[in-house]
Amino acid sequence: MREQHLRASGVVINNIMLTLPDLREKQIIFIRTEQGLANKIKIANENIVFMKDEKVVNRVSCHKALAVFIVGDISITSRLIRDGLQYGVSFFLLKSNFDLYASLCVFAEANYAVRMKQYAISEPDALALSKQIVKNKIENQCALLRERGKTGALASEQEKIASTISRAENQEKLLGIEGSASKKFFEEYFSDIGWRRRLPRAKPDIPNFLLDMGYTFLFNFIDALLRLHGFDTYKGFYHQLFFQRKSLACDMVEPFRCVIDKQLLKAYNLGRIKPDDFSFMKNQCSLGYEARSRYAELFMEAIMQHKEDIYKFIQGFYRAVMREEHSFDLFSINKK
């Protein structure tokens, strides 16, 4: 029987221990396919090999890969799926607009103990965990605003908002608090780049398109780590059950959205966002083929800088669930 459980120092999947030192060596791989060519990805000599028209374009050791994001149509071998998952590599398949349509993820399917604990979280404990998540998200938003010298409504009202969070009677009230805070954050933080408003998935402009893109990579990276720990990612505590929504991944991603927000503004300030890379059709923004890898790497870079923080956060949550506690160490965007 395959060993699939959590030890104090790491996660065991398929008899392979994923520890924090191991994680430091892992990479996120981005593959951009090309129309008109025979795009293929396979396993050869313990390497993940990407080919176009039978010519090798790139290869990465299976021991170094943590997740592979593939944009566009591609041929995948059954051996790649079998051996890749055995090495602990998760695969994410995305459309040309970076919307996810399928994934092949490593997960601790036999870790029934954590799921029993997860399903048994009481409503009061779920609310307590939800308050931590919302407070942590807003703390990081305020930290980013102060870092940019912006001390408007959100940053100046942080203590008041924290008090309001502590008094919230249910998750619906928390969603309202979080939504109001995020609206203020976006307006203040992105005021210098012509920000209008946040419209998820609508992609009406470049900032919204890029936020969707970055959040997609972040969400699926976090979802993969949650599944690696054995969680049912459809069962959240803040975001409630909704058909085909990975509510737990939605919960866990909230404190880390600031990683993508910060990277986007930094990229604008450094001149890395080029308007000519984008086009518009029917009021929807899209990204040119040649620029896709560059923008993907922009967000992959930010996620990899914080991969240890994300791992520790999820491992801390795992331990809290297993011990039936409703608090764990949170994430600070400015932690040195």
Overall number of domains in the chain: 2
Whether 290 is in a domain gets the answer yes
Question: What's the DSSP call for residue 221?
Answer: H
Give the integer Cα–Cα distance in Å for 143 and 122. Answer: 32
Using alpha carbons, select from 152, 154, 200 the residue that is nearest to residue 180. 154
Say whether both 159 and 286 belong to one domain.
Answer: yes
CA gap 217, 276 in Å, rounded: 23
Tell me: do 117 and 70 sit in the same domain.
no
DSSP 3-state of 202: coil
> What confidence score (pLDDT) does residue 103 get?
84
Q: What is the pLDDT of residue 28?
A: 86
- What CATH number is attached to the domain comprising 65? 3.100.10.20
Same domain, residue pair 81 and 189:
no
Per-residue pLDDT of the chain (336 residues; tens, 9 = 90+): 333 444 445 555 554 546 777 777 888 888 989 888 999 999 999 999 999 999 999 999 998 988 899 988 999 988 998 898 888 888 999 888 788 888 888 776 667 888 999 999 999 999 999 999 999 999 999 999 999 988 777 778 888 898 999 999 999 999 999 999 999 999 999 999 989 999 998 999 999 999 999 999 999 999 988 988 889 999 999 998 776 789 999 999 999 999 999 999 999 999 999 999 999 998 899 998 889 889 999 999 999 999 999 999 999 999 999 998 878 899 999 875
The owner of tokens 């293929």 is 40
Which of 71, 104, 137 is the last residue in one of the domains? Answer: 104
- Buried-exposed string 18-31: b where 16+ CB fall within 10 A, e elsewhere: beeeebeebebbbb
Q: How far apart (Å, rounded) are the C-alpha atoms in residues 109 and 146? A: 43
Within a domain: residue 329? Answer: no
Residue 328 within a domain: no
Q: Are residues 39 and 170 in the same domain?
A: no
Helix axes 158-167, 123-147, angle to 10 degrees: 170
User: Using CA atoms, how far apart are residues 314 and 221, in angstroms rounded to an integer?
Assistant: 11
Contact 177, 171 (CB under 8 A): no
Place of tokens 């030890």: 7
Both 315 and 180 in one domain: the answer is yes
Decide: helix, strand or coil at residue 282.
coil
Spell out the residues 6+ positions from residue 122 whose beta carbon is closer than 8 angstroms to its own.
none
280 part of a folded domain = yes
- Report the distance separating Cα 7 and Cα 228, nearest Å: 12
pLDDT in the model for residue 150: 83
Considering the domain boundaries, does residue 331 fall inside one?
A: no
Domain boundary among 84, 104, 124: 104
Q: Between vectors from CA 154 to CA 171 and to CA 299, what angle results, nearest 5°?
A: 80
- Angle (CA) 204-206-210 rounded to 5° is 105
* Cα dihedral 176, 182, 183, 184 sign: positive
Of 81, 104, 127, which one is at a domain's C-terminal end? 104
Distance CA 208, CA 151 (A): 23
Q: Which domain holds residue 42?
A: 5-104
Which regions of 20-64 does DSSP assign to beta strands (E)? 27-32, 39-44, 47-52, 55-61
273 and 178 part of one domain: yes
Dist CA 252 CA 44 (whole Å)? 35
| Residue 6 half-sphere exposure toward CB, CA atoms < 13 A | 26
What is the torsion angle, in degrees rounded to the nearest 10, for the CA atoms of residue 198, residue 204, residue 205 and residue 210? Answer: 70
Neighbouring C-alpha atoms within 13 Å toward the C-beta of 290 = 4
267 assigned to some structural domain: yes
Identify whether 292 is part of a domain: yes
On whether both 170 and 276 belong to a single domain, the answer is: yes
Give backbone dihedrals phi and psi of 157, rounded to 5 degrees, phi first: -105, 15
